[in-house]
């Protein structure tokens, strides 16, 4: 009975105090308060900031600053280097970590929807080893991840509770997670956004970890928050739904405040599908905008084209252009509230006339290695190609949106803002909708063909079936049969011929099996290539470089053969060739690289170049008139 009385009076006290919170002056006696970080009373001093309850001091990482964001001051974080470290180890974090019941409540204002952004917590999610907790977000939803002793499978098991409410970029949002030893609950702006009973009992903590505000961080992952944090409070007790609703109601002005974060490009303007008379310009903005492209052969940019509707990913096709002509262009995106963002002045060139010389570069398997991918783009752009062919695996995980932003488009912007990229889809894209959203290609997009100069390219999805009765086989045969191009070039991700050790050379790769020397599915296209005189077949997937002799009916035939070129050196971890030589191989090298081909009339010059600028393979071929 005494216990019950005590508990009732405690609830009354805590509720009364709680209504007065969310200010820069907390009541230090607030029951169960573990810490209360908010800018205002304390400033950043010597790279640290003290919390308002005198319980903790956080290290200020990167360029985290305190700035006015709408009606309040807030910690501003850039999504790359910025967050607060409350404790750098589990040992140091101990007195500030709840053991079972807890609440973590935060005001956040996000600039971008990214993968696994962290708001507050101490977590470890390395393979099967999962411990700790984290209030955060993943793409468009807030999330609450927790591992408890009741659901421990030996090395911990996290439940990631995802909310229902869409994250609205540029607006303040009150996000709260609670756990009472039985139920995990997530609240957004005072309303329940989801709950789970998958976890139970005490929280299971890792032996090492970092307690942060504004970053999901563990041994192999780091997902900093891109936006602003006004306040984060943690309690070793559970706030009720009513408590949480009152805080949101009390701060309705903050929630209603107009969208105030800076409108920005998530993907700077890039080019797609250039032809002799058209160029597609695309970009992505942090909020829905209408995109305008100003363009002309010379300044001032007298021509204008605009999208009719506001979009996050915008796309405009500039038409009626002159062939083989350079244009300057600039992109302006405007939101409904009158905010705007303007790109740098850039330029593009339309495709050449069919009798003119031209050039293209090739890269593959950029995956998730932005510094290598950046070098590939810089080396490629230095050669001033007309376009870039991408052999697939453009990112490591096609479903992770921020990989498209940070591992593909950002490092490749130097190139993709000036020349279009023509991709094929690899296995790492996972057939994600992002591939189809970010690339503007003729339907059905996984298969398409385009003419360039005196050549025609055939772009194929080798993840899909390629047997003679398949859709793509038929599409390809029709397109090849009707092609009048001097040069016929195909591109798909998986190799028809490779001396790769890992995937296809299993007899000597330690597995003792029969080698396939290539992808069985892709190899079904070889008879078509030979029948219709394909000159070069590009592929990626194997993370190295390889060129074959011209192959015809499984022998080397200088006159009728097809050259197969693997170019998978754009960023994915490098692979090696099988220990014994493959019969068809001319040259292979395990190296990050790009390829560069120049074409004039019936002659192609081809080079493979490493990222020190050294040419390590080349050939020239002139095609006889009768081929
Ligand atoms: Fe790959
Ligand atoms: Fe691949």
**Mean pLDDT over residues 504-512, rounded?**
60
SS (H, E, C) 377-410: HHHHHHCCCCEEEECCCCCCCCCCHHHHHHHHHH
Class of domain 2-256: mainly beta
Ligand number, closest to the Cα atom of 425? 2
Ligand number, closest to the Cα atom of 395? 1
Identify the pLDDT of residue 179. 98
pLDDT, one tens digit per residue, over 85-102 is 999 999 999 999 999 999
pLDDT, one tens digit per residue, over 385-405 is 999 999 999 999 998 888 899
Who wins on pLDDT, 579 or 97?
A: 97
Q: Separation of 184 CA from ligand 1 center, angstroms?
A: 38
**Strands 33-37 and 211-213, sheet pairing:** unpaired
Strand partners, 268: none
Strand partners, 50: 57
pLDDT, one tens digit per residue, over 134-158 is 999 998 899 999 999 999 999 999 9
Q: Separation of 395 CA from ligand 1 center, angstroms?
A: 9
Who wins on pLDDT, 201 or 220?
A: 201
Q: Separation of 427 CA from ligand 1 center, angstroms?
A: 7
Beta-carbon neighbour count of residue 233 at 10 Å? Answer: 27
Quick one: 263-351 is in which CATH superfamily? Immunoglobulins (2.60.40.10)
Residue 181 near residue 101 (C-beta atoms within 8 A): yes
**pLDDT higher than 70, residue 512:** no
**Mean pLDDT over residues 511-531, rounded?**
89
pLDDT, one tens digit per residue, over 48-82 is 999 998 889 999 999 999 998 888 899 999 998 99
Q: Separation of 549 CA from ligand 1 center, angstroms?
A: 23
| pLDDT category of residue 32 using cuts at 50, 70 and 90 | very high
Q: Which fold has domain 353-622?
A: Purple Acid Phosphatase; chain A, domain 2 (3.60.21)
Q: What ranges do the domains of the chain cover?
A: 2-256, 263-351, 353-622
CA Rg value for the chain:
29
Return the axis-axis angle of helices 241-250 and 2-19, rounded to nearest 10°. 10
Q: Separation of 604 CA from ligand 1 center, angstroms?
A: 27
Q: Separation of 465 CA from ligand 2 center, angstroms?
A: 16
**pLDDT more than 90, % of the chain:** 80
**pLDDT higher than 80, residue 4:** no
**pLDDT higher than 70, residue 507:** no
Q: Where are the beta strands (DSSP E) in 353-505?
A: 358-363, 387-390, 421-423, 448-452, 455-459, 487-491
Q: Separation of 80 CA from ligand 2 center, angstroms?
A: 27
**pLDDT higher than 60, residue 486:** yes
Q: Separation of 506 CA from ligand 2 center, angstroms?
A: 17
Task: Using alpha carbons, select from 275, 414, 360, 377 the residue that is nearest to residue 538.
Answer: 360
**Strands 448-452 and 421-423, sheet pairing:** unpaired
Q: Separation of 410 CA from ligand 1 center, angstroms?
A: 19
Ligand number, closest to the Cα atom of 366? 1
| pLDDT category of residue 421 using cuts at 50, 70 and 90 | very high
Q: Separation of 398 CA from ligand 2 center, angstroms?
A: 12
Using CA atoms, how far apart are residues 292 and 290, in angstroms rounded to an integer?
7
Identify the pLDDT of residue 259. 65
pLDDT, one tens digit per residue, over 157-199 is 999 999 999 888 888 999 999 999 999 999 999 999 999 999 9
Using CA atoms, how far apart are residues 110 and 145, in angstroms rounded to an integer?
19
Ligand number, closest to the Cα atom of 369? 1
Identify the pLDDT of residue 28. 46
Q: Separation of 593 CA from ligand 2 center, angstroms?
A: 16
Identify the pLDDT of residue 356. 94
pLDDT, one tens digit per residue, over 581-616 is 899 999 999 999 999 999 999 999 999 999 999 999
Q: Separation of 239 CA from ligand 2 center, angstroms?
A: 48
**pLDDT higher than 90, residue 530:** yes
- 366 phi/psi in degrees, rounded to 5: -65, -40
Q: Separation of 394 CA from ligand 2 center, angstroms?
A: 9
Q: Separation of 531 CA from ligand 2 center, angstroms?
A: 27
Q: Separation of 351 CA from ligand 1 center, angstroms?
A: 29
Virtual torsion, Cα 374, 379, 384, 389, nearest 10 deg? -70
Q: Separation of 458 CA from ligand 2 center, angstroms?
A: 19
Residues by chain with Cβ below 5 Å of ion ligand 2: 393, 426-427, 541
pLDDT, one tens digit per residue, over 323-333 is 999 999 999 99
Using CA atoms, how far apart are residues 94 and 89, in angstroms rounded to an integer?
9
**pLDDT higher than 80, residue 485:** yes
* Residues contacting residue 29 through CB under 8 Å, at least 6 positions apart: 17
**pLDDT higher than 60, residue 555:** yes
Ligand number, closest to the Cα atom of 494? 2
């Amino acid at each position: 009975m005494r216990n019950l009385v005590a508990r009732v009076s405690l609830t009354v006290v805590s509720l009364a105090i709680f209504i007065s919170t969310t200010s820069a002056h907390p009541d230090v006696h607030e029951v169960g308060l573990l810490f209360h970080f908010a800018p205002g009373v304390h400033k950043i001093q010597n790279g640290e900031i003290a919390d308002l309850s005198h319980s903790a001091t956080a290290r200020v990482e990167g360029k985290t600053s305190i700035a006015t964001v709408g009606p309040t001051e807030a910690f501003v974080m850039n999504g790359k280097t910025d967050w607060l470290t409350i404790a750098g180890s589990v040992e140091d974090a101990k007195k500030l970590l709840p053991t079972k019941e807890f609440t973590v409540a935060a005001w956040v204002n996000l600039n971008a929807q990214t993968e696994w952004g962290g708001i507050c917590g101490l977590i470890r999610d390395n393979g099967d080893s999962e411990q700790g907790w984290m209030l955060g977000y993943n793409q468009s939803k807030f999330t609450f991840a927790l591992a408890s002793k009741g659901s421990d499978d030996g090395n911990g098991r996290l439940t990631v509770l995802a909310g229902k409410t869409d994250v609205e970029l540029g607006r303040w949002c009150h996000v709260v997670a609670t756990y009472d030893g039985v139920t995990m609950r997530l609240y957004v702006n005072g309303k329940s956004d989801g709950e789970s009973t998958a976890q139970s009992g005490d929280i299971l903590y890792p032996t090492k970890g970092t307690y942060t505000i504004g970053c999901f961080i563990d041994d192999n992952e780091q997902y900093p928050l891109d936006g602003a944090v006004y306040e984060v409070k943690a309690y070793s007790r559970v706030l009720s739904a009513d408590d949480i609703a009152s805080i949101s109601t009390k701060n309705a002005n903050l929630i209603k405040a107009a969208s105030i974060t800076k409108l920005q490009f998530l993907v700077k303007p890039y080019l797609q599908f250039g032809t002799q008379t058209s160029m597609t310009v695309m970009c992505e903005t942090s909020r829905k905008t209408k995109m305008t492209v100003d363009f002309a052969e010379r300044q001032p940019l007298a021509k204008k084209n605009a999208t009719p509707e506001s979009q996050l990913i915008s796309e405009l096709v500039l038409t009626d252009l002159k062939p083989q002509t350079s244009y300057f262009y600039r992109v302006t995106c405007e939101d409904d509230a009158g905010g705007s963002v303007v790109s740098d002045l850039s330029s593009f060139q339309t495709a050449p006339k069919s009798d003119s010389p031209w050039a293209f570069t090739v890269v593959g398997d950029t995956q998730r290695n932005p510094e290598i991918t950046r070098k590939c783009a810089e080396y490629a752009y230095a050669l001033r190609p007309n376009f870039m062919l991408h052999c697939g695996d453009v990112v490591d995980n096609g479903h992770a949106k921020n990989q498209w932003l940070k591992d593909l488009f950002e490092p490749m912007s130097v190139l993709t803002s000036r020349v279009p990229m023509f991709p094929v889809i690899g296995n790492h894209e996972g057939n994600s909708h992002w591939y189809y959203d970010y690339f503007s290609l003729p339907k059905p997009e996984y298969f398409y063909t385009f003419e360039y100069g005196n050549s025609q390219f055939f772009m194929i999805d080798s993840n899909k079936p390629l047997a003679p009765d398949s859709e793509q086989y038929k599409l390809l045969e029709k397109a090849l049969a009707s092609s009048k191009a001097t040069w016929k070039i195909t591109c798909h991700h998986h190799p028809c011929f490779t001396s790769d050790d890992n995937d296809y050379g299993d007899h000597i790769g330690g597995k003792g099996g029969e080698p396939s020397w290539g992808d069985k599915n892709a190899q079904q296209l070889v008879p078509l290539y030979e029948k219709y005189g394909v000159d070069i077949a590009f592929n990626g997937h194997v993370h190295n470089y390889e060129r074959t002799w011209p192959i015809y009916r499984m022998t080397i035939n200088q006159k009728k053969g097809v050259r197969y070129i693997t170019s998978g050196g754009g960023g994915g971890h490098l692979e090696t060739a099988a220990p014994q030589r493959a019969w068809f191989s001319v040259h292979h090298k395990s190296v990050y690289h790009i390829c560069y081909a120049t074409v004039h009339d019936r002659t192609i010059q081809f080079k493979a170049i490493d990222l020190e600028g050294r040419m390590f393979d080349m050939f020239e071929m002139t095609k006889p008139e009768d081929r």
